[in-house]
Chains A and B, each alone.
Chain A
Amino acid sequence: MSRPPSRMRRYHAARWDEPLIHQLGAPGRRGQHFELADSDGLVPAGLARTTPPDLPELSEPEVLTHYLRLSQETMGMIGVSLFGTCTMKYNPRAGEQAARALAGIHPAQPPETMQGLLAAVHGLDLALRALSGMDRFTFQAAGGADAAWTQAVITRAWHAARGEAGTRTKIITSLQSHPCNPATAATAGFEVITLPLGEAGYPSLDALKAAIGPDTAALMINNPDDMGIYNPEIMEWVRLVKQAGALAFYDHANFNGVMTRIRARDLGFDASMFMLHKTFGVSKGGGGPAVGAYGCTAELAPFMPGPLVVERDGHYGLEQPPQQATKVREYLGNLHQVFKAYAWARAMGAEGLAEASDLSVLLNNYMETRLLTLRGVTRSHPEQTSPRLEMTRYSLGTLFEETGVSAVDVQNRMADFGIDAFWLSHEPWIVPQPFTPEAGEMWSREDIDYWIDVLAHVIDEAWRDPDLVRSAPHNQVVGQLSARDINDPANWATTWAAWRKKMR
C-alpha cells in the first residue's frame, strides 16, 4: 500500500461535567404540568401514595439541555463505528421521517384503518421471501435474540404436535453461533449441545454426526459465523439434521456479506432470521426497539405465533395460524421499525442489495490486507486461507504478550481519535485479545482508512509508550473505569437511593 497515513484528528469528546439528574434542579420546579383535578376518594383506602417519589425537580429547558449535553457526550455514529456483528450502517432519514406518521397508530386498530402500514409489512414479507426462499415471515420478534426465541418456541410446538414433546430434548449449535441461540434454546427447556470448531474454523461433520440422534429437536446456527467463515458443508449438515427428524434454523445475523448470493431455503433450512435493525438499515436506538424477522417454510408456518398479515385482492387483514406457538411479543411487533426496513429494501432493490454485499466483503478484505501488515495483529484460523466474508476475527495476542496492551486498552485509546469501539468477540474467546471490525457498505474508503490509521498509530504507541495506551482514554468524556468492584453488592448501585446508602 502506497498511500500516506491520514493525519490523526485532534478530537476531544464534549465534556460537560454534567451532574446526575438527581443533583440538578430545585424544589418546586416543573417541566410539565397538567390540569388540576379533584381525586378525593378515588383511590381505595390504604392504596394512596403517602410519600412523594424522590424524583428531581427541573424546568423544561433544564431537562432539554441536560439530555442534549448527554447526547453530546455520546460518540455514536458521528465517529467511525465498525462494531462487528452489528453491521453499523447509515440509517436513511427518509424512512425515519416517514415512520413518524405511524406514532399515533394503536396496534388494536381495525386493519382497515391501517392498510398503508400493513401493505408495507406485507411488502417486506414478500421481499424477504424472495431473499431467503422461505414461504412466510413474521415480524413479532423484538430483536434477533427474540427471533431465536421464536425458533425455540416453534420447535417446542412442532415436536409436541408430532407427539415427540418428551423425546426431542436437544438443540445443537456451534461455538461461534451467537449466544442467543443456546440461551433461548435453554430457556425453552432444551438441552444445548455446542459443537467445537475444527481447524478450518467451523465444526467438523463428524462432530455433528456424533451429536445427532432421535432426541435432536433442532439445529440453530449462524453461517457465515462472526469470523466471516462460511461452512461449505452446511447443506450436508441440514440434510443430516432433517433426516434425523429435527428442524434446521439459520440465524442469518451475518446476512450482509451474502445478500442475494445465497438463500436459506436453497440450502435446505426450515427457517431463517434477518435483523432489520442491522442488515436492513433501521436505526438501532442504542439497543432497540429492534426486529428479528423470522421466516419459515409452509410446513412450519401453521406454528408461527400470530397474527400474521395476509393480503387478499389488495386488502390487508390479519389471520391466526392454526397451531401457533406461544407469542414472543405483544401485538405484531415493532411495526414502525418494519416500515423503515421496507423503505430501505424498496430503495435498494435487488441490484442495490447485491452491490451492498459486494462492497461489505470487498471493504473487509481491503481492511484485512492493511491490518495484517500491522505488527502484532494476526488472523484467526490461519489454516483457513480463503478470503473472509464481511468480517474477520483478529487477535492482538502478540501485542498483548509483548507490550501488556490489551484489546480493551486499544479500544479505549482509539476512542481518543474519534473511533468508537470495535467488537471484541462473543464468549468464549477462541483467540487471545480478539477484535472483530465489520466495515459494512456505507462507510467511505476515507473512513475505513482513517480507522486503520488510528489502529496503526495506537499499535505504534503500544510499543513506544505502552502506559499511554493502558491509561487511555485521555481525550474522552471521562477516563477509564476504576477497579471498583461493581459485582459486589456493597458497591453496585442502579439507583441514586442505593448509591447514597452505600456511599455513606
Chain B
Amino acid sequence: MKAALLAELGLAGTEPLFAQIPPSHRLAALPALPPALTSEAELARHLAALNRRNRPAGEALSFLGGGIWRHHVPAVVDEIVGRAEFLTPVWGTPSSDFGRNQAWWEFTSQLGALLNLELVGLPVYSWGAAAGHALRMAARLTGRRRVLIPAAMCPERLAVMRGYAASADPAMHIELVPVPCDAVGRLDLAALAALANDATAAVYYENPAFLGGLEAGAADIARIARAAGAETIAGVDPLTLGVIAPPGDLGVDIAVGTIQTLGVHCHAGGGLGGFIASRDEARYAAEYPTLLNSLTTTVDGDLAFGLMLFHQSSYGSRELGKDWTGNSTYLWAVAAAAYMALLGPEGFAELGRLILARTAEAADLLAEVPGVTVTDRRGIFREVRLDFAASGRSATDVNAALLARHGIFGGVPVSGTAALFAVTECHAPDDLARLASALKEVLA
C-alpha cells in the first residue's frame, strides 16, 4: 500500500511530507525500545507471563473496599460492554450513534430513578471528580468559598477533591473544613450546626460514610445547610438505594457518587466512574460541567437523543465553560444501564438487604475475635471497621499475616490500628467464618 500511495503522490519516499519539521527538531535515530513482539502468539505469551505474576484479590478471599468494591458483575453486563460497537468507537452522528446514546440516556434515567432526582449528567472520571465538580458548582451558585466535609473521608477521594478546591487565585480558593465524625464516619450534627454559617457554600456528606456508617442525620444535615443558605451535596453509592432513602427524599440539592458498583469490575482501579445529579432546575443545570444527554424527537416524530447545554461545556466555551470535560467513563455508563435494568426495584432491595445482613453478621462474628474491637455493629453498610489496638498489632501487620498465612486480603487501613473490612454479596457466611478464624490465629 505504501509504495502505491507514494507512486500516486509522485514521491520516492515519505520524507518530503514532513517538510514542516525543521531538521534541527528531528531525532537522529530511532528511540531505543525493546524488540517488537510482532506476532500475536509471541505477544500473548508475554502478556500471559505477566498476568501469572498477579494475584487478583477478586479471585481470592478479599475484604478490600474503601472506595472501590468487588460486587457481583452479571454475566450479561460483561457481554454488553464487550460488544465492539460500545467498546471501540468514539463519536458519530446522533443517528449513527443512536443505540449508544439511548444506552447512555437509560443510564442517566435509571440512575435518576434510584436517586429520586430528575437531572443527571453523563459520567465523570470518579466519585472524587464528581464531588470536586459539585463543590465548585456550589461555590458558583452561592458566591461562597467554604465547604464543610466529613473529617473521615476516603483519602484517595479527598486528595482528588482538594485539587478541584484549590486555586492559583487566592480569591477563588475553596476551603474544605472538616466536620468531626463518630467512629463510623457520621457527622457530629452539633458541630456541623456550629460550623455552618453565611460563608458556607455547601455541606458535603456521604451516605454510607467512608467508615461504613449509614448517615442517620441526613435530613438534619440538609436542614442545617439550608438554614445557612448553603447547598447540600450528598455523596452516595447508588447500589444502596433499594433500601436506603434516596437523596431526592432527603433534601439534597446535588448528589454525586460512584458508578463502579453498578456492574463494573475493579480493573486495578480502572473500574471507577462518577456521576453528578440534582433536582431538575435551570439554576443547577447551568452549572453542570458534564455533557448532558436529553431525550428529544426527530423530524419524523421518533424519540431520539441530543446534547443539551453543550455551549456551557469546555468544548463549547473553552476557558469560559464550566470547569472542563473530555473523555470520561462512558463505557461504564453502558454497564451501569444494563446493571440497573437487570436488578430492577426488587433486585436493588434484595441486594441492599443482603449486604446489610452480611455486614451485621460479619460485625457480630468479628467482634468476638479476641483483640478486635468493633464499635458499631448496626447502622453500617458494607464496611466493618475493625480496630486491632487491643491486640497491640498494626492494621498493616495484621493484613500481611492474613495474606501470608491464610491467602486472605484484609481490609483497607484507616489508621495505625484500624482497617475497613468490606463485606458484599460476593461473600458467603463461610467466608466470614474463615476470616474470623484466620484473625483469631493471627492475633493469638
Contact of A497 among B57, B100, B113 (CB under 8 A): B113
A32–B21 CA distance with the chains assembled, in angstroms: 58
Give 4 A-B pairs besides A46-B219, A104-B266, A444-B1 with Cβ atoms closer than 8 angstroms.
A36-B354, A41-B378, A106-B268, A289-B332
* B residues less than 8 Å from A114 (CB atoms): 53-56, 268
Say yes or no: B216 contacts A46, CB within 8 Å: yes
A266–B31 CA distance with the chains assembled, in angstroms: 12
Contact of B409 among A13, A106, A326 (CB under 8 A): A106
Contact of A232 among B22, B74, B105, B246 (CB under 8 A): B22
Instruction: Tally A residues with Cβ within 8 Å of B.
Output: 206
Query: Provided the pairs A106-B57, A494-B292 are in contact, do residues A98 and B267 lie with their beta carbons within 8 angstroms?
Result: no
* A residues less than 8 Å from B328 (CB atoms): 142-143, 287-288, 290
Query: Can you list, as one digit per residue, whether each of A302-325 has a CB less than 8 Å from chain B (1) or not (0)?
Result: 000100000000000000000001
A352–B309 CA distance with the chains assembled, in angstroms: 43
A91 CB to nearest B CB, Å: 5
B58 an interface residue at 8 Å Cβ cutoff? Answer: yes
B76 an interface residue at 8 Å Cβ cutoff? Answer: yes
Binds A, one of B61-69, B189-197, B223-231: B61-69
Say yes or no: A477 contacts B99, CB within 8 Å: yes
Contact of B20 among A73, A156, A386, A479 (CB under 8 A): A386
Say yes or no: B91 contacts A86, CB within 8 Å: yes
B234 an interface residue at 8 Å Cβ cutoff? Answer: no
Say yes or no: B327 contacts A144, CB within 8 Å: yes
A81 an interface residue at 8 Å Cβ cutoff? Answer: yes
Say yes or no: B99 contacts A69, CB within 8 Å: yes
A4 an interface residue at 8 Å Cβ cutoff? Answer: no
A352–B33 CA distance with the chains assembled, in angstroms: 11
A322–B21 CA distance with the chains assembled, in angstroms: 38
Q: Which residue from chain A places its CB closest to the CB of B118 in the assembled complex?
A: A498
Say yes or no: A478 contacts B219, CB within 8 Å: no
A12 CB to nearest B CB, Å: 12
B164 an interface residue at 8 Å Cβ cutoff? Answer: yes
Instruction: Tally B residues with Cβ within 8 Å of A.
Output: 201
* B residues less than 8 Å from A496 (CB atoms): 109, 112-113, 295
* B residues less than 8 Å from A70 (CB atoms): 99-100, 102-103
Say yes or no: B163 contacts A327, CB within 8 Å: yes
A67–B102 CA distance with the chains assembled, in angstroms: 9
* A residues less than 8 Å from B214 (CB atoms): 43-44, 47
Query: Provided the pairs A20-B106, A492-B294 are in contact, do residues A146 and B270 lie with their beta carbons within 8 angstroms?
Result: no
Say yes or no: A260 contacts B267, CB within 8 Å: no
Contact of A42 among B156, B167, B357 (CB under 8 A): B357
Query: Can you list, as one digit per residue, whether each of A49-89 has a CB less than 8 Å from chain B (1) or not (0)?
Result: 11011111110100110111111111111110101001010
* B residues less than 8 Å from A182 (CB atoms): 314, 318-319
Say yes or no: A348 contacts B36, CB within 8 Å: yes
Query: Can you list, as one digit per residue, whether each of B365-380 has a CB less than 8 Å from chain A (1) or not (0)?
Result: 0000000000000110
A354 an interface residue at 8 Å Cβ cutoff? Answer: yes
Say yes or no: A105 contacts B58, CB within 8 Å: yes
Say yes or no: A183 contacts B346, CB within 8 Å: no
* B residues less than 8 Å from A286 (CB atoms): 86, 89-91, 100, 330-331, 334
Say yes or no: B24 contacts A350, CB within 8 Å: no
* A residues less than 8 Å from B269 (CB atoms): 107, 330-335
A143–B124 CA distance with the chains assembled, in angstroms: 11
Say yes or no: A96 contacts B90, CB within 8 Å: no
Binds B, one of A116-124, A205-213, A293-301, A450-458: A116-124
Contact of A55 among B273, B340, B351 (CB under 8 A): B340
* A residues less than 8 Å from B399 (CB atoms): 110
* B residues less than 8 Å from A258 (CB atoms): 18, 21
Smallest CB-CB A-B distances: 9 pairs:
A104-B58, A349-B36, A145-B326, A285-B331, A73-B99, A189-B167, A326-B163, A116-B53, A31-B342
Query: Provided the pairs A76-B92, A284-B88, A421-B93 are in contact, do residues A50 and B245 lie with their beta carbons within 8 angstroms?
Result: yes
* A residues less than 8 Å from B163 (CB atoms): 149, 153, 305, 325-328
* B residues less than 8 Å from A39 (CB atoms): 243, 352-354, 356-357, 360
* A residues less than 8 Å from B67 (CB atoms): 330-331
Say yes or no: B5 contacts A445, CB within 8 Å: yes
Say yes or no: A445 contacts B4, CB within 8 Å: yes
A429 an interface residue at 8 Å Cβ cutoff? Answer: no
B173 an interface residue at 8 Å Cβ cutoff? Answer: yes
B169 an interface residue at 8 Å Cβ cutoff? Answer: yes
Query: Provided the pairs A31-B342, A68-B83 are in contact, do residues A343 and B47 lie with their beta carbons within 8 angstroms?
Result: yes
Binds A, one of B198-206, B300-308, B434-442: B300-308
A216 CB to nearest B CB, Å: 12
Say yes or no: B108 contacts A495, CB within 8 Å: yes
Say yes or no: B66 contacts A108, CB within 8 Å: yes
With most chain B CB atoms within 10 A of its CB, the pick from A39, A120, A260, A497 is A39
Say yes or no: A98 contacts B48, CB within 8 Å: yes
A262 CB to nearest B CB, Å: 5
A329–B27 CA distance with the chains assembled, in angstroms: 33
* A residues less than 8 Å from B31 (CB atoms): 130-131, 260, 263, 350
